[in-house]
Amino acid sequence: MNTPADFSPQLQTLLNGSSPLPHLGVIQAQGEDAANFLHNQLSNDVLLLPVGESRLAAFCSAKGRMQASFILVKTAPDNVLLVLSLDLLAQTLKRLSMFVLRAKVKMSDASSQWQLRGLLGDSARALPGSAAPWQTLVHDGAHTVTLYPAVLGNSPIQRALWIAPADHALPEGPPLQSEVWQWAEVMSGVTLVSQPVFEAFVPQMLNYESVGGVNFKKGCYPGQEVVARSQFRGTLKRRTALVHSPVPLAVGQDVFTPEDPEQPCATVVLCAARPDARGFDALVSGTTESMPWGWRVGSSNGEVLAILPLPYALLADI
């Protein structure tokens, strides 16, 4: 009998290739104040980010709740690309543009100007094997960003985000279904915010402080006081876990526990079917006290979610 931590041998052969990313879009910030403007709006340092490098960052409300998150790439001193969930692009662009005021920066939807591909396995190994997450290789106008690997047991599968101008030749590699890419994203433990979980979490509830998405030493940004207080005063009571489910899940779906059957204790953030048809895996953000009680889908009598080890260590609360 298979356990949730078992992965079939054929998975290794499936996790290789280049996948389209139709669920993602690109916002472009262009102008001499582009980096400074974004630095004052996002949870990570953009001002000191070297040209050609990348970072993970969150865009929060005044209450510290994530309205979007990005993989941002500084392609030039006056140009920054923000890769985000496409279903949040229009409203995020509108809100960011409201804060521009006199800053010398133009915010625009640049999705049609840039190609996005997810590279997995051998196809992602154009980068140096020792490259840490968010390190970037720039070659012939294309930026390849190292992402956190998908981890199957003790086996890491390299992942990368490829960004290039629309007329650029596609990267080499066999075609990969976007559903397989999404499952690999689940298994990396790191994901972007999408519309169903808009304003549902502060960054630490998605473990962003542990995967390079929050800089606690930079200056103010919307929600910064709430984010900092959650970290430094030990008030963080919710974390994202990797789980296995025998049934399909939906982003935004509530999770319950028999200990408190009337009150949801967690929310599904990202989910996907295993490519070997052995169930479903998901990232779920829930209260730390409820995790030992046992999470169940949909109701306190629903299917049990098995909590799997995260593929990275969580930073200790300060």
Q: What is the mean pLDDT of the chain?
A: 92
pLDDT at residue 246 is higher than 60: yes
Please give the average per-residue pLDDT across 43-61, as a whole number: 95
Are residues 246 and 273 in contact, defined by beta-carbon separation less than 8 angstroms? no
Domain that holds residue 132: 11-177
Indicate if 68 and 173 belong to the same structural domain: yes
Does the pLDDT value for residue 22 go beyond 70? yes
79 and 172: one domain? yes
Q: How confident is the model at residue 228 (pLDDT cuts 50, 70, 90)?
A: confident
Q: Is residue 277 part of a domain?
A: yes
pLDDT top residue among 19 and 228: 19
Domain-ending residue, one of 177, 206, 223: 177
Q: Is residue 2 part of a domain?
A: no
Taking residues 274-302, report their average pLDDT: 93
Closest CA to 85 of 19, 29, 25: 25
Residues 69 and 147 in one domain: yes
Mean pLDDT within 138-167: 92
The answer to whether residue 316 sits within a structural domain is no
Domain count, the chain: 2
pTM value surpassing 0.85: yes
The rounded percent of the chain whose pLDDT value lies above 90 is: 78
User: Is 80 exceeded by the pLDDT of residue 292?
Assistant: yes
Residue 118 DSSP one-character state: E
- Give yes or no: residues 168 and 283 share one domain: no
* 137 within domain boundaries: yes
Q: Is residue 102 included in any domain, yes or no? A: yes
Q: What is the pLDDT of residues 83-108, one digit of tens each?
A: 999 999 999 999 999 999 889 999 99
Question: Which residues of 246-303 form beta strands (DSSP E)?
Answer: 254-256, 266-273, 280-287, 295-297
Q: Are residues 35 and 161 in the same domain?
A: yes
Beta strands in the chain (DSSP E): 17-20, 24-30, 54-60, 66-76, 79-85, 106-109, 114-120, 136-139, 142-152, 155-165, 238-245, 254-256, 266-273, 280-287, 295-297, 304-308
Q: What is the per-residue pLDDT across 135-144, written as a single tens digit (0 to 9) for each?
A: 999 988 999 9
- Judge if 225 and 295 occupy the same domain: yes
pLDDT tier for residue 181 given thresholds of 50, 70 and 90? very high
Radius of gyration (Cα) for the chain, nearest Å?
A: 19
Are 171 and 201 within one domain?
Answer: no
Q: Are 30 and 169 part of one and the same domain?
A: yes
Average pLDDT over residues 140-159: 91
In this prediction, residue 234 carries a pLDDT of: 62
* Predicted confidence (pLDDT) at residue 289 exceeds the cutoff of 50: yes
**Is the confidence at residue 318, as pLDDT, over 50?**
no
Both 253 and 146 in a single domain? no
The reply to whether 145 falls in a domain is yes
163/205 same-domain check: no
Percentage, residues of the chain above pLDDT 70: 94
Place 206 in a pLDDT band, splitting at 50, 70 and 90.
very high
- pLDDT at position 274 over 90: yes
CATH of the domain at 19: 3.30.1360.120
Residue 250 DSSP label: -
Structure tokens at 96: 């960011």
For the cut 90, the answer to whether the pLDDT of residue 280 exceeds it is: yes
The mean per-residue pLDDT over the stretch 140-164 comes to 92
CATH number of the domain that residue 248 is part of: 2.40.30.160
CB 313 within 8 A of CB 246: no
What's the rounded mean pLDDT across residues 262-286? 95
Residue 185 belongs to a domain: no
Q: Following CA atoms 96, 283, 287, 201 in sequence, which dihedral angle do they give, to the nearest 10 degrees?
A: 0
Do 201 and 103 fall into the same domain? no
Q: What is the pLDDT of residue 1?
A: 38
Query: Pick from 148, 177, 206: which residue ends a domain?
Result: 177
pLDDT at 2: 52
Based on the domain organization, do 168 and 62 belong to the same domain?
yes
Residues contacting residue 195 through CB under 8 Å, at least 6 positions apart:
85, 87, 88
Is the Cβ–Cβ distance between 303 and 268 less than 8 Å?
no
Distance CA 57, CA 134 (A): 11
* Token pair belonging to 169: 């030749």
pLDDT at residue number 3: 60
Q: What pLDDT is recorded for position 153?
A: 82
> What pLDDT is stored for residue 317 in this prediction?
56
